[in-house]
Amino acid sequence: MAPLGLSDSDRALLAGDAGEAMQFAMQVVVRAAEIMGAPHLIDASFAHIDACHYYGRAHLDFAQFFVDRGARFKIPAWGNTLTVSLMPSDVREGADPVTVTESRALAGLYVKLGIRPVWTCAPYQLPDGPGLGDNIIVGESNAVSYYNSVVGARTNKYGDFLDACAAMIGRVPFAGLHTDEGRRAQVCFDVNGLPERLRRSELFCHVLGHLMGRMAGARVPVIVGLPPETPTDSLKAIAAAGAASGGIAMYHAVGVTPEAPTLEAATGGRGVEETIMVTPAMLVAARDSLSSGGLVTGPISMVAVGTPHFSLTEFERAAALIEGRRISA
pLDDT less than 50: residues of the chain: none
The set of residues, in sequence order, having a beta carbon less than 8 Å from that of 202 and lying 6+ positions away, is none
Report pLDDT for 293: 62
Residue 15 has phi, psi (to 5 degrees) of -80, -5
H helical segments located in 47-138: 57-68, 97-112
What is the predicted pLDDT for the residue at 300? 77
Query: What is the pLDDT, as a whole number, of residue 291?
Result: 76
Quote the pLDDT of residue 147. 99
N- to C-terminal Cα separation, the chain: 61
Q: How far is the C-alpha of 206 from the C-alpha of 189, rounded, in Å?
A: 14
Q: What is the DSSP string of 82-106?
A: -SS-SSTT---TT--HHHHHHHHHH
Alpha-carbon distance values, 245 to 235, 311, 325 (Å) = 16, 22, 34
- Whether the CB-CB separation of 197 and 161 falls below 8 Å is answered with no
Q: What is the pLDDT of residue 302?
A: 78
Q: Alpha-carbon distance 329 to 314, whole Å?
A: 22
Residue 295 has a pLDDT of 64
Give me the domains of the chain, ranges plus CATH numbers: 8-178 (3.30.499), 182-289 (3.40.50)
pLDDT for position 247: 93
Report the pLDDT value the prediction gives residue 296, as an integer from 0 to 100: 66
Rounded Cα gap, residues 247 and 214, in angstroms: 8
Q: Tell me, what's the pLDDT at 294?
A: 61
Q: What is the reported pTM?
A: 0.95
